[in-house]
Amino acid sequence: MAKSLFVSEETHKNLMLAKMELGFRSVDEMLKELVVEVRKARFLEASDVFRSKVREKRLSLPAIQAKSEAVRVELFKKWFRKERGS
């Protein structure tokens, strides 16, 4: 189901120009690609932050895995107790 977006005349002009310059068949196709690229950029940014924190704390992969296992066990026990108590 198609939806309409209201944008200024200037934004519309810029979108149409970008669509043509980048070779997209439609603005919808271009915006879908833009959303994908924004998500990738956010993921890469989070990965960089994670890597820098790992380096900063001098953690190894086995240490991270051990900590995450401990968290999963703790959450499982917490959730299981809630279900048994109900």
Q: How many domains does the chain have?
A: 1
> From first to last of its 86 residues, what are the pLDDT tens digits of the chain?
889 999 999 999 999 999 999 999 999 999 999 999 999 999 999 999 989 998 998 989 898 899 899 999 999 988 887 666 55
CA distance 72 to 12: 48
Would residue 16 count as lying in a domain? yes
Would residue 21 count as lying in a domain? yes
HEC secondary structure over 51-85:
HHHHHHCCCCHHHHHHHHHHHHHHHHHHHHHHHHH
Asked if 33 and 41 touch (Cβ cutoff 8 Å), the reply is no
Would residue 72 count as lying in a domain? yes
| Domain limits for position 26 | 9-85
Would residue 25 count as lying in a domain? yes
Model confidence, pTM: 0.64
Q: What is the DSSP string of 6-52?
A: ---HHHHHHHHHHHHHHT-S-HHHHHHHHHHHHHHHHHHHHHHHHHH
Would residue 4 count as lying in a domain? no
Would residue 36 count as lying in a domain? yes
